[in-house]
Amino acid sequence: MTLLSANRLIKRFNGLLAVDGVGLDVPHGQVRALIGPNGAGKTTLVGMLSGRIAPSSGRITFDGNDVTSWPAHKRIAAGISYTFQITSIFPNLSVWENVALAARRKRTTTEAVENAVRAALDEVGLEARQTVDAGDLSYGHQRLLEIAMGLAQAPKLLILDEPTQGLADGEVADFVRLLAKLRGHITVLLIEHNMDVVMQVADFVTVLDSGRVIFEGAPEEVKASETVQVAYLGGGDAAA
């Protein structure tokens, strides 16, 4: 059953066609990777899906509702959580307080908030650092904190924009293990340049180039596609 559907999405910025008629169908429980070269329109697309950018035309359906005109806060309430490419945390607040702020978007009682914070921190492995100021965390742990903030909102769809960017190898491995834990419980839309990560975690891959979908398939099919090789992978180079 489809959770998120985009139909012929178009976005123009002062005459620049950033997204050109994109269609997308993401089933419940799937880990969908969205890849493509820089400037392909990936971040613009997820900005429209999350409600932070208004489409020029097209339609977005989420969990059976037409959400095309819904603002971001209403989509959050409906179950869409979006973590940014650049960390968006409150550095002077503790890890616990950061996650609690996110949890309060969906919960009204103190007990419910505390339970959600505890569960999210346990999920990402930050429970031992809950009293640390977020700004004192390593960059990798800040990325995990942002994911915990997303999880605390009890999302049906978690959108992750370049979550492994800037991470050390060990931190990337931790992220891969986290997605393995989430698989099947939460639908994930993952923008990712690291093809090793994509090959390990994605159920299905959508490839964008120049604002258009040029290929979709299982990770192995994408890696073997000559179209993708020419447009993005550069004969196997995953660092586009």
- Domains of the chain, by residue range, sit at 1-28+53-65
**pTM confidence score:** 0.87
Ordered DSSP codes for 126-171 = -GGGTTSBGGGS-HHHHHHHHHHHHHTT--SEEEEESTTTT--HHH
The pLDDT score that the predictor gives to residue 84 is 64
pLDDT, tens digit, 9 for 90 and up, residues 129-141: 999 999 999 888 8
pLDDT, tens digit, 9 for 90 and up, residues 65-102: 999 999 999 999 999 998 865 567 899 999 999 999 99
Residue 172, token pair as written in the block:
């990337």
Helix (H, G, I), strand (E, B) or coil at 55: coil
Contacts of 81 (CB under 8 A, 6+ apart): 150, 151, 153, 155, 157, 158, 159
pLDDT, tens digit, 9 for 90 and up, residues 224-235: 998 888 876 554
Q: Are strands 57-62 and 2-13 parallel, antiparallel or unpaired?
A: antiparallel
DSSP state for residue 185 in the 8-state scheme:
T
pLDDT, tens digit, 9 for 90 and up, residues 116-174: 999 999 988 899 999 999 999 988 889 889 999 999 988 999 999 888 888 888 888 88
Percent of the chain with pLDDT over 90: 65
- Please provide the distance, in angstroms rounded to a whole number, between the alpha carbons at the two ends of the chain: 33
